[in-house]
């Protein structure tokens, strides 16, 4: 009964968790609808109406931002540090989720996948989804008896939202996955090959002809070779419009006033503790130590457990080991901030003194007054730069200018400043000479000036000459290594041995009696599908090659192959078949989704928002 009462109490939270993706997909599509037909015909999409469009169906800016905020709230509640870079990462994840969800929804509609009441009941009775099982977890174990009771007792809980989620989200995707899985087939030979890779040892000798082996006989690429390579892949050197900014910045570092403020806060808390207030309670309220957190609304009371000398930073350790049991000491300053320390007990273990202590950590952080002062400085500089020019403002404010690297519209980071998307947006909205308002991220206030606009086009051959030279030289070396490997194979077939060939060419690499399973990596040769395939089809005593490797070409003498273990084969083949099937199904799904994305008409308006 308590289980059911608890379940009813948390149903609102759980239902939201179950329905979130379903609600998102419905809102993206059915509730928001497609783009205006005139806009579709003319290829126009107003960024104010859509942060994105997938095959004509709008992703609402409000919905996108709600999803980002919800995800960030989850991370914040778990104690995760949320900074500009992290927010940018979450936005990317949410965007990909929206696009993939819309493509899935469209595919389900195109395939005519529907869900009947009977299918919902069948899944609930025979194949309940993990998300539904979580509603009936007791100590992280599924309580099937409680689940069956709720399922078979009318009115015990409201199943309507779960049925909606099953109908609109879970079962359609389950059926789609089953359709895709039909094309995954594992052949018997694949199972035996995988068993061999995991169980059979190969002992080899090898002669490795690398690019280094022939470097002295391969000349530098000629101009005509570089030009031919450049023209053959000129599209690789296409560059979008780029921009260069100048900037000045003010680091968001704590001031002396911030240090004094935190010190005074520590004294106030110290006074409460000395008046007899419970130290553990104070720690849960005030400490900044992330290790204290157990749940969003509970902590460890500042408990650090047992520790001996050498485990803590010196200033903390000196204060802790100098105090008496029951004593509260502090504020103690370390590179983490100010600590208040309470010694609970001490002991000697393995002839080493240990103490058990609690602490309250107050980090010295950038405060509101310091923020206001830095913003004031940045604002004054911006005004002066607009009035008298950027260079003159640098001189009057005694500041040094820095320059960004070449920025493209999609960039999010500024070198040495970190994530600064607003500065990139300014760069592509401004005209040369324009000065920005003060911008800030987690670490800096900054003011920017647009210096240069570099038009869209192709990099000149001279700009990419080092890149061309490196690629063509590498290709020529590998070609020469292949020719030499075939020449050496001919000598081996006529009676030559590896050591003789090594004496004639000291740059050859010899591998002697290296024993590995094919799931591993051989010395010098590495791990490649060509090498594995050749060894799978080899016999002991056989010479194979030349075989391509990541570094050149190899001649391999198979010295020994361990026996086939029939008992292990019987034990493992079903699991190997299962693993291979899962791998193929995952690849098929990934390939299918990739194909949908490549063929979809996707408009990404995020650059107008962030």
CA-based nearest residue to 430, from 609, 246, 248:
246
**CA-CA distance, 555 to 491, in Å (whole number)?**
12
Chain mean pLDDT for the chain: 90
Model confidence at 478, pLDDT cuts 50, 70, 90, reads: very high
pLDDT band at 443 (very low <50, low <70, confident <90, very high): very high
Contacts of 589 (CB under 8 A, 6+ apart): 177, 180
Maximum separation of any 2 CA atoms in the chain, in Å: 94
Binned at pLDDT 50, 70 and 90, residue 155 comes out as: confident
Q: Distances in Å between the alpha carbon of 358 and those of 265, 270, 282, 305, 449?
A: 18, 13, 11, 8, 50
Q: Read off the pLDDT of residues 69-100 as tens digits, 9 standing for 90 and up.
A: 999 988 888 777 788 888 989 999 999 999 99
Decide: residue 44, CB within 10 A, 0-12 exposed, 13-18 middle, 19+ buried. Answer: exposed
Q: Predicted confidence band at 38 (pLDDT cuts at 50, 70, 90)? A: very low
CB 354 within 8 A of CB 333: no
In 3D space, the residue among 461, 431, 542 whose CA is nearest the CA of residue 221 turns out to be 461
Percentage of the residues of the chain whose pLDDT score is greater than 70: 92
pLDDT at 299: 82
pLDDT given for residue 41 in this prediction: 35
Closest of 315, 332, 321 to residue 270, by C-alpha: 332
Using N-to-C axis directions, what is the helix angle for 566-599 and 84-110, rounded to 10°?
Answer: 90
What pTM, to 2 d.p., does this model score? 0.69
**Is the pLDDT score of 456 beyond 50?**
yes
- Whether 18 shows a pLDDT value over 80: the answer reads no
- Given pLDDT bands bounded at 50, 70 and 90, which one contains residue 312? very high
Dist. CA 40–CA 535, nearest whole Å: 56
By DSSP bridging, strand 337-349 and strand 352-362 are antiparallel
DSSP 587-609: HHHHHHHHHHHHHS-EEE-GGGT
- Is residue 290 within 8 Å of residue 79, measured between CB atoms? yes
Q: Which residues pair with 418 in a beta bridge?
A: 414
Amino acid 297: pLDDT: 62
Residues 6+ apart with CB under 8 A from 543: 489, 492, 493, 555, 556, 557, 558
Tens digits of residue pLDDT in 201-234: 999 999 999 999 999 899 999 999 999 999 999 9
Two tokens, residue 531: 């090498």
- Rounded distance between C-alpha atoms, residue 43 and residue 38, angstroms: 8
3-state secondary structure at position 441? coil
Q: Which residue carries 């001649």 as its tokens?
A: 555
The C-alpha torsion from 28 through 29 and 31 to 37, rounded to 10°, is: 110
Flag whether pLDDT at 172 surpasses 90.
yes
DSSP assigned state of 280 = H
Cα dist from 300 to 233, 282, 292, 596, whole Å: 60, 11, 5, 49
Q: Give the pLDDT band of residue 461 (cuts 50, 70, 90).
A: very high
Other residues' Cβ atoms within 10 Å of the Cβ of residue 571 = 10
Is 407:424 a contact under the CB 8 Å cutoff?
yes
**Between 28 and 413, whose confidence is greater?**
413
Q: What is the pLDDT of residue 11?
A: 46
Mean pLDDT in residue range 327-349: 93
Task: Give the residue-averaged pLDDT of 536-554.
Answer: 96
Extended strands (E) in 17-93: 52-54, 57-59
**Angle separating helix axes 11-26 and 2-9, nearest 10 degrees:** 40
* pLDDT (0 to 100) of residue 296: 57
Contact 284, 292 (CB under 8 A): yes
């Amino acid at each position: 009964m308590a289980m059911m009462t608890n379940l009813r109490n948390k149903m609102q939270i759980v239902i939201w968790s179950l329905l979130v993706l379903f609600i998102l997909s419905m809102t993206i599509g059915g509730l928001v609808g497609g783009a205006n037909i005139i806009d579709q015909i003319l290829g126009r999409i107003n960024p104010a109406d859509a942060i994105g469009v997938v095959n004509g169906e709008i992703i609402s800016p409000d919905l996108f931002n709600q999803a980002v905020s919800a995800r960030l709230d989850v991370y914040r509640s778990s104690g995760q540090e949320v900074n500009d870079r992290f927010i940018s990462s979450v936005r990317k994840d949410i965007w990909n989720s929206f696009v993939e969800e819309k493509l899935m929804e469209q595919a389900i509609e195109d395939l005519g996948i529907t869900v009947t009441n009977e299918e919902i009941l069948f899944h609930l009775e025979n194949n309940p989804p993990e998300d539904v099982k979580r509603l009936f977890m007791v100590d992280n174990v599924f309580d099937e008896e409680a689940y069956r009771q709720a399922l078979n007792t009318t009115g015990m809980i409201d199943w309507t939202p779960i049925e909606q989620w099953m109908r609109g989200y879970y079962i359609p995707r389950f059926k789609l996955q089953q359709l895709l899985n039909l094309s995954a087939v594992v052949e018997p030979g694949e199972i035996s090959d995988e068993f061999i890779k995991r169980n059979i040892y190969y002992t080899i000798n090898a002669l490795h002809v690398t690019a280094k082996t022939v470097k002295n006989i391969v000349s530098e690429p000629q101009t005509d070779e570089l030009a031919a390579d450049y023209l053959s892949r000129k599209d690789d050197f296409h560059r979008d419009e780029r921009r260069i900014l100048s900037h000045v910045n003010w680091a968001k570092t704590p001031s002396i006033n911030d240090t004094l403020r935190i010190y005074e806060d520590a004294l106030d808390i110290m006074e409460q503790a000395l008046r007899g207030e419970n130290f553990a309670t104070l720690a849960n309220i005030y400490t900044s130590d992330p290790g204290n957190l157990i749940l969003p609304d509970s902590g460890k009371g500042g408990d650090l457990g047992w520790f001996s000398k050498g485990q803590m930073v010196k200033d903390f350790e000196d204060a802790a080991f100098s105090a008496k049991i029951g004593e509260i000491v502090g504020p103690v300053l370390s590179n983490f901030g100010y600590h208040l320390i309470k010694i609970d007990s001490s002991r000697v273990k393995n002839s080493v003194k240990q103490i058990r202590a609690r602490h309250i950590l107050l980090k010295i952080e950038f405060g509101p007054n310091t923020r206001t002062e830095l913003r004031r400085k940045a604002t004054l500089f911006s005004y002066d730069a607009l009035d008298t020019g950027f260079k003159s403002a640098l001189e009057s404010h005694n500041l040094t200018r820095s320059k960004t690297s070449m920025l493209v519209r999609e960039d999010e980071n500024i070198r040495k400043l970190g994530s600064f998307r607003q500065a990139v947006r300014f760069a592509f909205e401004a005209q040369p000479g324009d000065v920005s308002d003060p911008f800030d991220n987690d670490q800096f206030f900054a003011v920017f000036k647009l210096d240069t606009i570099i038009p869209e086009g192709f990099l000149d051959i001279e700009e990419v000459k080092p890149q061309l030279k490196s690629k063509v030289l590498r290709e020529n070396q590998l070609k020469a290594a292949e020719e030499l490997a075939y020449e050496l194979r001919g000598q081996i077939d006529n009676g030559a041995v590896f050591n003789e060939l090594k004496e004639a060419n000291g740059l050859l690499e010899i591998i002697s009696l290296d024993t590995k399973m094919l799931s591993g990596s051989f010395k010098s040769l590495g791990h490649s599908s060509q090498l594995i395939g050749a060894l799978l089809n080899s016999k002991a005593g056989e010479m194979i090659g030349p075989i391509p490797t990541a570094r050149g070409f190899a001649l391999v003498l198979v010295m020994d192959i361990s026996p086939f273990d029939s008992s292990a084969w019987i034990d493992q083949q079903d699991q190997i078949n299962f693993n291979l099937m899962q791998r193929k199904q995952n690849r098929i799904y990934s390939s299918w989704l990739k194909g949908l994305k490549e063929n979809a008409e996707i408009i990404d308006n995020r650059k107008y928002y962030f």
